[in-house]
Each structure stands twice: as C-alpha cells, then as structure tokens.
C-alpha cells in the first residue's frame, strides 16, 4: 500500500503489518466467540448488541437515533429497534432535543448506568482472569500499546474498504 507521499512501504514493515493483521483478525474472532459463549440475550432479556447503544450513550452523551446509527455504522431501523428495547427495559429514556423540539434524544437512565457498570465489572473480571499470569509490566505495556494502536487507527482509517470513503472520510477496517 502506498504511503501518503506515494512510496511503497519496505517489505519488512509490510511483513510486520501482515502479522499484526492476522493477530487482529484472530482477536476479533476470539472476542466474537467469547461473546457468543455468553447468551445472545443478557440476564435482563436485552440483546447483547443493544448494549453497544448504551455504551455509546454513556460515553458520547445523549444522541438522536440517526446520529447513533451513523456513529455505530448501523441501519437506523436496527438502532431504533434495539433502543426501543432499552427504553422498554428502563435503561434508556427519550428526551426532547433542545435544538429541535420535534426530535428526541436517547439518554441513559440511572438504571442504564447501573446495568452498564455491572456488565463492565463482569468484563473486567474476565480480562483480569485472562491476564492473571502476565507480569504487571506486560499488562501495563499492553494497555499502552493498544491505546497507541487505537489512536493510530482513529487518525488513519483505511480508504480502501469503502469506495465512498475517500470523499466522506469514513472507512472501515477490513
């Protein structure tokens, strides 16, 4: 893949990138497998996928359904269905949009925050178990390197995944 100045990266860099790509695909598959080990619905009857909406609302603040769909790279109908379930379970509420009274924003409720924190604790327990036999320095380095990798990905999303991404600035990793 050419660099920003049009030159091709050295083979050694591309080999390391290929190894990283392989490990990232492996990681994604393992995370998907781990998630599937947990039932498709949580103990509260909510689809696991709907928790991503709750996560986004907690970290990004109240959002319109259309903005959530854009942020999560999902169809509005999917976000609408899942957010309706979250509203029915009292984890998310609809609020008037202060910028446009005809529209509404979705926002986490106190119960939504509690459920989110409970799920977060369970995830953290599992990850702590996975890393239990790692030296503390390795665990800290892993966090630093993941943060660095994520920051780099955020700064340079690939344009080859989506033909429209060159003009829209959006692209999804392959």
Question: Is 32 among the domain residues?
Answer: no
Task: Pick 35 or 26 by higher pLDDT.
Answer: 26
Distance from C-alpha of 132 to C-alpha of 150, rounded to nearest angstrom? 23
Q: How many domains does one find in the chain?
A: 1
Tokens coding 167: 């003009």
Residue 138 counted as domain residue: no
Enclosing domain of residue 100: 38-121
CA gap 51, 17 in Å, rounded: 32
Instruction: CATH number of the domain at 69, please.
Output: 1.10.10.10
Mean pLDDT of 137-145: 97
Q: Average pLDDT over the chain, rounded to whole?
A: 84
Higher pLDDT, 161 or 99: 99
Contact 139, 126 (CB under 8 A): no
- Which of 54, 29, 117 has its CA nearest to residue 37? 29
Q: Give the pLDDT confidence of 35-64 residue by residue, as tens digits.
A: 776 655 555 667 777 888 999 999 999 999
Query: Is 52 among the domain residues?
Result: yes
The rounded distance, in Å, linking the Cα atoms of 80 and 32 is 23
What is the percent of the chain where pLDDT is above 70? 82
Is 67 within the bounds of a domain? yes
pLDDT of residue 101: 78
């Amino acid at each position: 893949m050419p660099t920003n100045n049009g030159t091709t990266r050295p083979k050694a860099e591309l080999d390391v990138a290929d190894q990283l790509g392989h490990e990232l695909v492996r990681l994604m598959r393992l995370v998907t497998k781990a998630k599937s080990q947990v039932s498709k619905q949580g103990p509260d009857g909510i689809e696991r996928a709907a928790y991503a909406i709750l996560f986004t609302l907690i970290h990004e603040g109240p959002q319109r359904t259309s903005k959530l769909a854009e942020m999560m790279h999902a169809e509005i109908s999917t976000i609408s269905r899942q957010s309706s379930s979250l509203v029915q379970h009292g984890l998310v509420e609809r609020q008037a949009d202060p910028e446009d009274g005809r529209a509404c924003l979705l926002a986490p409720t106190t119960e939504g925050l509690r459920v989110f924190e409970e799920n977060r604790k369970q995830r953290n327990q599992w990850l702590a178990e996975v890393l239990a036999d790692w030296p503390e320095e390795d665990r800290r380095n892993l966090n630093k390197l993941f943060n660095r990798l994520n920051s780099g990905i955020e700064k340079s999303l690939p344009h080859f995944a989506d033909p429209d991404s060159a003009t829209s600035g959006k692209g999804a990793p392959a």
